[in-house]
Structure 1
Amino acid sequence: MGDPVTIPAHTFVTLTQSLGGNYTVVYNGNMVRVDGTDADALGFEPMALDFEPPSDGRISEEQVWEALHTVFDPEIPVDLVNLGLIYKVDIDQASGQVGIAMTLTAPGCGMGPVLVGDVEYRVRQVPHVRAVTVELVFDPPWHRDMMSEEAQLETGMFY
């Protein structure tokens, strides 16, 4: 997934990409990804994941899916849910554990670890979630028919 980098305040960086609420900047010749929740460090409005905690102390499956909708493929401006990459969400209310089975658009996708990290980070923002486990699966293999109609239109893959 890469090594964490701290960019000192008031340092010049070059913004190269801003898809899906995340940003990629060039700093000292290296590409650095900045999560949308930290966008204020770049002078942008941060992505807010403000979930109302359910009063019953349970994890809201709706909020988990809402968090998943905020994770975008870094190369395609569509969220993972609409791309059809999220296969299953399991919630263990007793332990506060959320298990997610997901795939990638291609098994060799080099961004896999980044996407897994994004999913874990965003789902941990849901109230009452104590741990998130993401399993990358490749069966069934992903294909464009798994995309929502909206995603197919957005990417020009509608037929």
Structure 2
Amino acid sequence: METLATAEHIREHLKLVLDPELGVNIVDLGLIYRIDVSDGDVAIRMTLTTPGCPLHDTIVGGVRRALEGKKDIKGVKVELVWEPRWSPEMMTEAAKAQLNA
């Protein structure tokens, strides 16, 4: 039986977390740098669009809420990093189209 705690499944859950200012999900914005899964423990390395973002707690809390309590996920650790620095080139084409609409 396939476990739900894979990087791809987690990425899909994280698409439900929106940047409140931009209204685009954090995956398509390119804010998720790495997802590691080990025995149900999930470690996420991510960034924000700007250092000192006032919505830091909202977005990181959204990541935790999107994953905690899901089948096969025991714990969630979110590491916020500033290198590499985020840039608009990290967005998917879908995010770019959404922001240009």
Normalised to the residue count of structure 2, the TM-score between the two structures is 0.91
1:16 aligned residue: none
RMSD: 1.7
Q: Following the alignment from structure 2 to structure 1, what is the Cα–Cα distance between the partners of residues 35 and 77?
A: 10
How do 1:3-152 and structure 2 match up within 5 A? 55=1, 59-93=5-39, 96-152=40-96
- Work out whether residues 64 and 126 of structure 1, in 8 Å CA contact, stay in contact via their aligned partners in 2: no
Larger radius of gyration: 1
- Sequence identity, in percent? 39
Deviation of residue 56 (structure 1)?
5.1
**Structure 1: gaps (5+ residues):** 1-54
Q: Following the alignment from structure 1 to structure 2, what is the Cα–Cα distance between the partners of residues 65 and 156?
A: 24
Q: Following the alignment from structure 1 to structure 2, what is the Cα–Cα distance between the partners of residues 145 and 125?
A: 33
- How many aligned residue pairs are there? 101
**Structure 2: gaps (5+ residues):** none
